[in-house]
Structure 1
Amino acid sequence: MKPAAFDYHSPATVDEAVKLLVELGDDAKIIAGGQSLMPMLNLRLAAFDHLVDLRRIDALRGIEVREDTVWIGAGTTHSEIGRSTDIRTHVRLLNEATPLIGHFPIRNRGTIGGSIAHADAAAEYPAVTLALDAEFETVSPRGVRRIKAADFFKGLWSTELAEDELLTGIIVPITRGRCGYAIEEFARRSGDFAIAGAVVFVRLDADSKIEHCGMALFGLGSSVIRVASVEQSVIGMIVDEVNPETIGTDALSSLSSVPADLHGSADYRKRVGSLMVARAWCRAVEEARND
C-alpha cells in the first residue's frame, strides 16, 4: 500500500521547522528517519496533510561532550551513535543498546530523536534514557526547555512534547566511579521489537555497597517503565547480598498490568521480563565490580 496524499516540507533550520509546526498545527507531522512513521503511513494506520522532514537541519546532528554531560543531536542516526568513541567512552549503555535496534538499514536511517519522540513501549533508547536520568532539550515559540526523561513518556506513542514543540537534543549525564551497565531483551527474531527487556545501571562505593541504581523495563507496558521501588530497595546494600532472581521477581511484581498479544500472554511476558532483569542485573554488577 501507499500513504495518503500529503504536502512535503523540508526546512533547513530549527526556526523554520518550528514556524511550520505553528502554521500547520494538527495537520502536520514531523518525520526524522521515518523508520517508524513510514510503515504506519503506508499501511494507512496514520494520515497527515503535511510532513515536515528534519533531515536538512544540520544543527540537529552531532555528539558533543559538555563537561559532565554528553549532548546528542536529535537527528543523529543510530549508526552514528554506534560508531561514536565519545558514546562508547561516556555512555556505554547507549552503545550497547544500538545493535539491538532493528537491522543495519534501519540503524542507518533511524534517529535517536525519532525513537524518543515516537515513544514505542518496546524501544531500547527510551528505556536507556530513562534509566540514565537523561533530559530532553526542546524548542518551541515559547523558547527552549529541558524535560526529564522521567516526565517525558506518558503512554503508548504519547509524550510531553507539545504540538508546536521540536525535540532538538538528548542530554545524558556522564557517570563516574565503579559503574556497571547492561541491557537484555528477548525477541522472536533478531531485529524484532522486544517481547520483554530490561536496562540496569548500578554504581558501587569502595565497600561494594550500592550507591545508585537505575532500572527501566520495555515491552512490558504501554510505555517504558522506571522501576523506582526496586531501585530504592537496594540502595545501601552490599551488592553480593542482592539476589538477582529476587530483583527480577520484584521488578515485575511492581507492575499493575502487563500486556498480552499474539507474541505472548501477560504471564509469559512477566516470566521473560523477570529473567531479563536478573540477567541485566548480573552483567551490570559484574562490570561495576571490575571497573
Structure 2
Amino acid sequence: MLKDKKLFLLDIDGTIALDTTLIDGTLEFMEHVLSIGGKYIFITNNSTTSIDDYIKKFEKFKIKVDATSFVTSSYATALYLKENYKDKKIFVLGTKSFIQELKSFDIKVTEEQEDDISCAVVGFDNELNYKKIEDICELLTTRNIDYIATNPDLVCPTSFGFIPDCGSICQMIGNAVKREPIYIGKPNKAIVEMCLKQTGYSKEEALVIGDRLYTDIACGINGGVDTAVLFTGEAKKEDLADTEFKPTYSFESIKELYEEVSV
C-alpha cells in the first residue's frame, strides 16, 4: 500500500525535472515525504554530474538534500572500480565532473592511451567529441582490457524531447568494436540494496519511482520493491501493454502521485 511507504527512491531526469526545470508537484511531494518522517533518495543513471554538483543543483531547486540523498550511477561505478581495480589504471570516457568524482575515490584515471590501462569506462558524456570515441575504440580493439559503463539508458529526457544517453554511446562504440560493456547503474539491483542498507528501511517500505520501464522499473523489480512509473519522461501509457517490466503503480506525473499519497 502506498500509505505504508517511507523510503522513496526517485529518478531525476523525466521524473522530477526536465533540464533545470522542476516538474509540477515535485516540491510538494518532497515536503510530504519529510512530513511523514520518510526519506527520499535520488537514484539517477545520469553520470554527467557528481554528487557534490547534484547537491548544488538541488539547493537551487530548494529541495533539502545532503550527500546521503543521492546514489548515482557514477557513485556506484566508483565503488565498483574501487573494489575491483584498486591501484589499476582506468581509461574514462566521461564528463569532467564524472572524472573528478572517480578521482575523489583515489581511482587512477586517464583520458590518454597509456600502456598500463586495465579497464575502459564509459559514462553519459555531454562533453563528447569524436577523439574520445576514436580513442576508446582503439583501446577496445587492440587490447584485451575490461569494459564497463555507468548505465544502459538510450536517451535522456530534456525540455524539448530527448538526447542520446550512455546506452546509445555504447551502441555506437559497439558497432565499431563488436563488444558490449557491463552496466553498473539501474537496472542493477545493487542500487536498491545500497539504499536499503544505508537507511535501514525494509523492502516493503520502499518505492522506486521513475520514467523508464527498462531501467527504473526494472531496477525496483530486480531489487524486490514496489515501483511507480510516471509518464513525464520516456515511458508512455501504451508501453505498459507490452513490457516485461510491469510497474506496481502508474501515474501521469509526480503531482498525481503526491495527490494520491497525501490524502
Bigger relative contact order (CA 8 A; separation at least 6)? 2
Calculate the TM-score normalised by the size of structure 1.
Answer: 0.24
**Rg larger in 1 or in 2?**
1
Specify which structure has the higher proportion of strand. 1
Calculate the TM-score normalised by the size of structure 2.
Answer: 0.25
